[in-house]
Each structure stands twice: as C-alpha cells, then as structure tokens.
C-alpha cells in the first residue's frame, strides 16, 4: 500500500480515503480542496480503477503516485472534514494530479470540458454508461447527505457605513422624517393592516396546506419509485439467477463432455436375426474392464419404418433388462446400440426388434446372444 | 468457477462459486510484502483462468481467435489463456493492488472487485486488439438501447443492459424464446449503406451512426416478433470483418499503398504498440493528438472528414493485424472505395496525416509505434506526394 499513516491529521490535498457509506462501491475519494488545518469542508471526487476515462474524468497513470486511477470530476462533493476518518486514508495523489483534476472541474463548471477525442469516444461507450449508472451515481448519492450538497460556506463581508451606526450626523434627521411619514400614514396603515393580516393568515394557511400537499405527493412518488426500483431489482436478480443457472448447467455439461475419452478395445457383436434351425446362441466374451458393449443388428425386414424399438430380455429370468425406441436404421440396414456393460451380466439374452409405424409395432427381427466373462 | 452471469454487486459481499475467497486471501497475504507463496499463487492463477474463461464466454469471444485479445500464434484459447493470465495478473495484483487493499479496509471480501477487474481487462484488450469488432458491437448495442428507451423494442429476456443473449421483441408480449434467425443478407444490405461510418464515426459523431442504425432495426421485424441480440451482432460483425478484413490483412497495419503506374508513394507504419504500459500510453496519445490536430486543421469540412476517416482506418488497421504480415499490397483504389474517398485525394491526405503524425510524435517526445518508411514525411520531393 502506497501510504497509510496512523497519524490523525486532517485531510489534505490529494489524500485518498474510503468511506463506509460507499463501501458497497469500488471507489475511493480523492481530496481536491481542503481547509488549511481546521474544520470546514473538503472537496472530494470519486476515484476508481476502471480504465475507461470519459470527457469529465482525469486519468492517473500507473506510473504516477496511487495510479492507475480515474478521477470522476463530474461527481465532486463538498464534505465536512470531520467525515474523513484518518484510519481510512488509503494513499495520496501527486500535486500535479490534483491540479489536473481541479482544472477539469473548473472546465466542467464553465461548460467546456476541453476533452480529448478519445475521451469523447469513451463517453459513447455503453460499458462506460453502465459504470456511471451502476457505480458512480449511486456512490455519489450514498455519500451526499443534504448538508454535503451545499456549496462551501462563504464568509460574510462586514457591512460598512450602516445608517444607524453611532456618530452618523444624518441619522437623527433621517429618523425624524421617517417618524413623521410614519405617523401621517398611520391611519391608512391601520386599516390596511387588518387586510394584510387577514391576507397573510390566509396565504400562510394556503401555503401550509400546499406544502403539506406537495410533501404528501412527494412521499407518494418516492414510495412509488422505491417500489418500482425494488421490483426492477427483483426482476433483474431473477433474470440473472436464471442466466447463472443456465450457464452453470451448460458449463457442467461442457465439463462432462470434456471428460469423454476415446474407447479402445471395445467389445462388440454383430448379430443376424435368429435362425430357427440354429442351435445354441452365439457367445460373446466380455473382458472385465469393458465399460460398453456395442451391438450391431442386421435388419432383414425391408419394410420401411420411421423408427424402431429394441427390447432385451434375460432368458434365464424372463425379465426385460433394457428397452428403447427412437432407433433408426442405417443406410446399410443395420441398427446400432452401445449398452453399458453392467446391464448385461453373463447369461442368455433374447433381443426383439419392432418397427414402429402409425402407432403400431410390427416385429422386425429376433436375435439371441450369450454373454460370458473372461 | 462461473462468472458468466457475474454481477459485482452480488459478489461484493459473497463468496465465489468455489465457496472460498481465493483472491481476498491472496490480497491480504500480499499486504505483508515479500514474495507470494508459490502454492497460493498457483491457485490464484487457476482461479484467474476460470474467471477469464467465463468473461470470454460472456462476451462471445470463446469461439473467436485469440488474436482478438492480442494473443498471436496460439492454437486456441486454452493455450492463449496462459499468456492472458500473466497479463491479467499484472493488471490486477500489481497495477491495482493498492486500490484492492484500500477496499479491503472496509469490506471482508474483494473477490468481486477482482472479477470486475477481469472484466475491465478483457474490455480494454478487446478494444485495443479487435477495434472493428468492439466498435460494431458498441454501435449496435447503443442503437438497441435507444430503441428500448423509446419503446420501439422491449427486452423480453436476458441482461437488460443488452448483451449477446438478450432477447428483444417488437411487442412486450412477444415470445421470449425465438428461434435462431439468419440475418446475414439483411445486415449486408445495412452495411452497404452504413460503412465506413459504422467504423470511422466515433466520439461525438458516433451518435449519428447510432441513430442511422436504430432506424434500421425495424427491418428485423419481418423475421418475427422477437430476436436475439447475438443473432444480429454476429453476422453484422462478420460482414464488416469480411469487407475490411481482406484489406486489413494486406494493409498489415500500414497505409498499405501499392505503387501504381508511375506514382511514388510515401507510407507511414502505424504499428500496434508493444504490451508495455508506457508504449500503449504513447500510442494512445499519438492517436489522440492526431485526432485533435485534424479537428483544428484549417481545411474545409470535406477534407477534414476524409482525414478523420483515413486516420480511423489506419488506427483500426494497427489494432487488427499482427505485425508480421507482409507490407501493403492494397491499392489506393481499393482503399478509396472502402472509405468513400476519391482515389486522387488519397496521396495528399496521406501526406497531411504524415505531417500531423510527425508533429505529434515530436510533441510527445517519446518513442512511438510509428515508423516512417521510405523517406516518408520528408518535404515532398520529386515524385513525392503533394496534397
């Protein structure tokens, strides 16, 4: 860390701080203006490490103190010096960087940011727009209390030559004239007073009612906005969650696909339809390490079927061990399947093939085989 | 580790998908100074690789060549990731370590910030090395966002900020799962009209091309009530690359001028900068300086527009092509056709740009990625270019 001092001095020009109020956002705050050694207000701008720098930003390069950073001068705030916690000072900018940022801020206030063409390009970049909307605006709002939005305090100038000041030779004369005019107008004023008082009371009452009405409307609008924002956030979160689930599922499947390895020495059998005059079924010896057993069934039934169903029955137990539809004949009248080795323990099996068409299953072939183990 | 649907806001206080805070622990360990523990470093590199993988997928780069992020000569991304991991490590844990440690003062977990920095890193690299692709994406994304803001389009599904997988509809109640559509012919017709402005109009003038593209989005409606952003951006980018790519490959980051009957031409090599930070900064300053100079030049608006277009072309060329491609063979005629600049104006424009580059190089007083060739930018002599 470039600089972290434990002294409890007041913020100085160029100091970088983090604030608890903006802990949820990846920003620090750079001090651009600070009162000399006493209480008062400091001018601070958000600073972050997003390399996108627009027309209202100042880039602090990686080879400069505390760099790389982007100072977002459009989001400057005046903050009470007391809010800068010395324990949360995180670094310091070079004086030149502060000067550049102040220059930029002044240019912005004058309405001419004097930006470079590349920074205008950044302004038009949607990623930059997102950064401003999702990070800088909310961070600025989080730190800006009503007091902070005020302009820095300006010391009032002493008023010279007040007419009531002691020793003024015209004071008594002026007072006398004023008194006479006042007395002369007293009658009229008394009559007017009643009117004005009445008007004043009525105006105050109307203003009060209007103010209350506006406050109520404002609250309602705020509440509606809060609800709308909450709903949008909920929908956005829901969409993101759906996206994440979908992506996680895809990645999982991709991972699994990536684990598929070539099979070598895979056992297979080529079966022809059962010959009614043939005796014992053909025996296939499966090596113990085999994970799959490949079967190719020759189909001698030349009727066209859009799909086939295959049933495998253990002849010893009479129980079906596997069945599936959706099989299709290859161009050379064969059906192929790869069966997990565990599905076929040693024994005799009958395989029945059906052609499926118009909701009907027509027998299309019967096969037999014997499985043995090494 | 899945960050494809990454939202730093969600991750800022949470843990990563593996249930650990790999990056946070690493940043904390670095606070003590000294060399990082090799085992811990290996874990961090693996996690960075996962984060990069996710970000590349999110940006639709996973099926693109690694050249788009400036990694040349790699077979595929798995190979290129090794190189990228080293670069992103420097970007995050060396250049931005101070800022990460600053954030660690306030929050228990900075893993989200690391993911965020990965995003920034890839974005910056893509802009630098795939200027064509990123510019086209940026313009279309802006056009679609404006159409959404004006109620001409509605986000039906996916990221509302408009990303590859965002589904958009012409009606709010349109089916949010449209079939994949083929817009190749349509976007090619768009490009007949939009190029070269789609690539060369930038900055304050980008708004013009965004508006022109937004007006054309309605052409997508005959294909259905809804479409995926990806189904439009992919063919649009491919068409721009196809039109510019052939020329850029020949141009190889130069003005790419072929000597034609009896003419002697001067060239400027605007080559891609090295990966060094200072080199890249100087390169950016040069681009910026020349753009500013063009704005201030005392010429008529037509000439200024030609100069800006030609300079953006050179800039895209420098970003798009590896350095080792042979020197330019594309003719002035082809460049003129592509950029919509009368061929006979090109020699003079090159000459002017050359002078601006020279001035900017001198002003920046640094070693720039610009190499004059064959006596370029010397006062025009016999056979040289004259404006």
Domain-located, residue A109: yes
Residue B343 · residue B333 · CB < 8 Å: yes
Closest CA–CA distance from residue A58 to any residue of chain B (Å): 14
Domain-located, residue B2: no
Average pLDDT over residues B130-146: 92
What DSSP line would sit under B210-271, residue for residue?
HHHHHHHGGGGGGG-SEEEHHHHHHHHHHHHHHHHHHHHHHHTTB--PPP-TT----EEEEP
Rounded Cα distance, A267 and A295, in Å: 9
Q: In the prediction, which pLDDT does B202 show? A: 87
Burial bucket for residue B73 (CB in 10 Å: 0-12, 13-18, 19+): exposed
Do B123 and B229 belong together in one domain? no
Do B153 and B64 belong together in one domain? no
Adjacent-strand bridge partners of A232: none
Q: In the prediction, which pLDDT does B233 show? A: 93
Q: Domain end: A94, A115, A143, which one?
A: A143
Domain that holds residue A51: 15-143
Do B94 and B142 belong together in one domain? no
A373 touches chain B (CB under 8 A): no
List all residues 6 or more positions away from B98 whose beta carbon is below 8 Å from its beta carbon. A1, A2, A66, A90, A91
Burial bucket for residue B182 (CB in 10 Å: 0-12, 13-18, 19+): exposed
Domain-located, residue A150: no
* Residue linked to tokens 């052409």: B219
Residue A337 · residue A295 · CB < 8 Å: yes
Domain-located, residue B197: yes
Q: Domain end: A82, A116, A143, which one?
A: A143
Q: In the prediction, which pLDDT does A198 show? A: 60
Average pLDDT over residues B11-37: 70
Q: Domain end: A143, A165, A188, which one?
A: A143
Domain-located, residue B138: yes
Domain-located, residue A108: yes
Interface of A with B in 117-156 (CB under 8 A): 117-118, 120-121, 123-127, 130, 134
- Is A117's CB within 8 Å of B284's CB? no
Q: Which H or E element spans position A311?
A: strand A307-314
Give the residue from chain B lying closest to A246, CA to CA: B5
A186 or B293, which is more confident = B293
Quick check: A256 pLDDT over 80?
Answer: no
Q: What is the CATH number of the domain that holds A95?
A: 2.30.30
Task: Find which of A123, A124, A232 to mutate to test the B interface (most B CBs within 10 Å of its CB).
Answer: A124
Token pair belonging to A77: 């705030």
Count: domains in chain A = 2
Split at pLDDT 50, 70, 90, the class of B275 is low
Burial bucket for residue A322 (CB in 10 Å: 0-12, 13-18, 19+): middle
Rounded Cα distance, B64 and B130, in Å: 11
Do B24 and B115 belong together in one domain? yes
Count: domains in chain B = 3
Q: In the prediction, which pLDDT does A152 show? A: 37
* Residue linked to tokens 């105050």: A204
Residue B307 · residue B352 · CB < 8 Å: yes
Quick check: A188 pLDDT over 70?
Answer: no
Residue A2 · residue A122 · CB < 8 Å: no
Q: How many CB atoms lie within 10 A of CB A257?
A: 8
Give the residue from chain B lying closest to A19, CA to CA: B106
Do B63 and B19 belong together in one domain? yes
Least confident among A200-204, A323-327, B322-326: B322-326
Quick check: A178 pLDDT over 80?
Answer: no
* Average pLDDT, rounded, for chain B: 79
Q: Which long-range contacts (CB under 8 A, 24 or more apart) does B41-50 make?
A: B44/B89, B44/B93, B45/B85, B45/B89, B47/B1, B47/B16, B47/B18, B47/B22, B47/B23, B48/B85, B48/B88, B48/B89, B48/B92, B48/B118, B49/B81, B49/B85, B50/B1, B50/B3
- Is A126's CB within 8 Å of B106's CB? no
* CA max distance for chain A: 146
Q: What percent of chain B has pLDDT over 90?
A: 33
Quick check: B228 pLDDT over 90?
Answer: yes
Split at pLDDT 50, 70, 90, the class of A206 is confident
Domain that holds residue B206: 133-243
Question: Which residues does chain B have within 8 Å of residue A130's beta carbon, measured at their own beta carbons?
Answer: 161
Domain-located, residue B387: no
Domain-located, residue B261: no
Do B109 and B147 belong together in one domain? no
Residue B195 · residue B243 · CB < 8 Å: yes
Domain-located, residue B369: yes
| Option in B99, B287, B295 nearest A118 (CB) | B287
A359 touches chain B (CB under 8 A): no
Adjacent-strand bridge partners of A322: A312
Q: Domain end: B227, B243, B259, which one?
A: B243
Do B95 and B201 belong together in one domain? no
Do B219 and B305 belong together in one domain? no
Q: Domain end: B128, B144, B177, which one?
A: B128
Do B40 and B150 belong together in one domain? no
Q: How many CB atoms lie within 10 A of CB B80?
A: 22
Domain-located, residue B149: yes
Least confident among A16-20, A36-40, A304-308: A36-40
- Is B113's CB within 8 Å of A63's CB? no
Q: What is the rounded (10 degree) CA torsion for B169, B228, B243, B336?
A: 30
Phi, psi of A324 (to 5 degrees): -160, 145
Do B228 and B271 belong together in one domain? no
Q: In the prediction, which pLDDT does B248 show? A: 64
Q: Domain end: B128, B151, B183, which one?
A: B128
Single out the residue of B23, B59, B261 nearest to residue B164, CA to CA: B59
Single out the residue of B304, B322, B348 nearest to residue B249, CA to CA: B322
Quick check: B6 pLDDT over 70?
Answer: no
Quick check: A159 pLDDT over 50?
Answer: no
| Option in A68, A121, A127 nearest B95 (CB) | A68
Question: Between B111-129 and B131-149, two packed helices, what is the crossing angle to 10 degrees?
Answer: 110
Chain centroid to CA B308: 18
**Any idea what DSSP says for residue A12?**
-
Q: What is the CATH number of the domain that holds A280?
A: 2.60.40.10
Interface of A with B in 7-46 (CB under 8 A): 16, 18-20, 23-24, 26, 28
Residue A10 · residue B106 · CB < 8 Å: no
Rounded Cα distance, B325 and B317, in Å: 12
Average pLDDT over residues B15-41: 76
Quick check: B10 pLDDT over 50?
Answer: no
**Any idea what DSSP says for residue A282?**
P
């Amino acid at each position: 860390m470039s600089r972290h001092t434990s002294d409890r001095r007041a913020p100085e020009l160029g100091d970088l701080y983090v604030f608890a109020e903006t802990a949820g956002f990846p920003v620090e705050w750079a001090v651009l203006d600070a009162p000399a050694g006493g209480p008062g207000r400091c001018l601070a701008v958000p600073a972050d490490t997003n390399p996108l720098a627009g027309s209202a930003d100042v880039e602090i390069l990686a080879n400069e103190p505390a760099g790389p950073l982007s100072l977002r001068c459009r989001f400057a705030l005046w903050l009470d010096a007391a809010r800068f916690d010395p324990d949360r000072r995180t670094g310091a900018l070079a004086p030149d960087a502060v000067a550049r940022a102040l220059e930029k801020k002044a240019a912005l206030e004058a309405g001419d940011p004097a930006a470079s063409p590349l920074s205008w390009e950044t302004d038009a970049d949607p990623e930059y727009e997102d950064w401003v909307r999702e990070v800088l605006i909310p961070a600025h709002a989080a730190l800006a209390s009503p007091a902070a939005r005020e302009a820095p305090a300006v010391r009032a100038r002493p008023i010279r030559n007040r007419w009531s000041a002691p020793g003024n030779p015209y004071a008594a004369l002026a007072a006398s004239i004023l008194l006479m005019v006042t007395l002369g107008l007293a009658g009229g004023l008394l009559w007017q007073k009643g009117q004005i008082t009445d008007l004043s009371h009525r105006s105050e009452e109307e203003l009060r009612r209007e103010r209350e009405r506006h406050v109520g409307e404002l609250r309602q609008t705020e509440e509606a906005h809060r609800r709308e924002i909450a709903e949008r956030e909920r929908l956005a979160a829901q969409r993101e969650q759906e996206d994440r689930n979908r992506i996680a599922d895809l990645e999982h499947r991709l991972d699994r696909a990536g684990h598929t390895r070539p099979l070598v020495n895979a056992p297979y059998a080529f079966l022809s339809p059962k010959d009614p005059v043939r005796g014992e079924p053909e025996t296939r010896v499966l090596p113990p390490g085999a994970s799959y057993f490949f079967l190719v069934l020759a189909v001698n039934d030349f009727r066209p079927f859009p799909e086939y169903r295959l049933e495998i029955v253990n002849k010893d137990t009479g129980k079906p061990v596997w069945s599936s539809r959706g099989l299709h004949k290859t161009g050379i009248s064969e059906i192929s399947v790869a069966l997990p080795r565990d599905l076929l323990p040693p024994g005799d099996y009958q395989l029945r093939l059906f052609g499926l068409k118009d909701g009907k299953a027509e027998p299309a072939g019967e096969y037999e085989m014997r499985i043995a183990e090494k | 580790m899945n960050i494809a649907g990454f939202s730093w806001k969600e991750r800022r206080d949470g843990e990563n998908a593996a249930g650990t805070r790999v990056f946070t622990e690493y940043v904390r360990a670095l606070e003590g100074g000294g060399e990082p523990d090799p085992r811990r470093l290996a874990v961090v590199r693996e996690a960075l690789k996962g984060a990069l993988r996710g970000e590349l997928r999110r940006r639709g780069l996973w099926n693109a060549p690694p050249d788009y992020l400036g990694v040349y000569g790699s077979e595929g991304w798995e190979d290129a990731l090794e190189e990228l991991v080293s670069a992103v490590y420097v970007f995050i844990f060396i250049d931005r370590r101070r800022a990460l440690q600053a954030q660690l003062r306030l929050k228990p977990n900075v893993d989200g910030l690391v993911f965020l920095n990965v995003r920034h890193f890839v974005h910056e690299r893509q802009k630098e090395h795939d200027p064509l692709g990123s510019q086209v994406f940026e313009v279309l994304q802006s056009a679609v966002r404006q159409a959404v803001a004006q109620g001409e389009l509605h986000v039906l599904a996916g990221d509302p900020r408009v990303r590859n997988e965002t589904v958009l509809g012409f009606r709010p109640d349109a089916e949010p799962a449209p079939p994949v559509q083929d817009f190749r012919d349509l976007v090619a017709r768009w490009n007949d009209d939009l190029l070269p402005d789609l690539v060369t109009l930038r900055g304050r003038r980008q708004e013009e091309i965004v508006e022109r593209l937004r007006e054309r989005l309605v052409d997508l409606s005959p294909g259905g009530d809804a479409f995926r952003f990806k189904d439009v951006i992919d063919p649009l980018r491919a068409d721009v690359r196809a039109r510019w790519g052939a020329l850029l490959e020949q141009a190889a980051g130069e003005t790419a001028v072929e000597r034609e009957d009896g003419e002697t031409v001067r060239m400027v090599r605007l080559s891609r900068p090295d990966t060094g930070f200072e080199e890249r900064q100087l390169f950016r300053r040069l681009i910026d300086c020349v753009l500013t100079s063009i704005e201030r030049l005392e010429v008529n608006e037509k000439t200024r527009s030609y100069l800006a277009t030609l300079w953006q072309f050179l800039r895209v060329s420098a970003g798009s092509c590896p350095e080792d491609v042979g020197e330019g063979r594309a003719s002035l005629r082809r460049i003129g056709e592509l950029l919509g600049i009368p061929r006979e104006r090109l020699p003079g424009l090159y000459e002017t740009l050359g002078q601006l580059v020279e001035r900017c190089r001198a002003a920046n007083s640094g070693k720039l990625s610009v190499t004059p060739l064959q006596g370029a930018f010397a006062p025009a002599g016999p056979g040289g270019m004259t404006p």
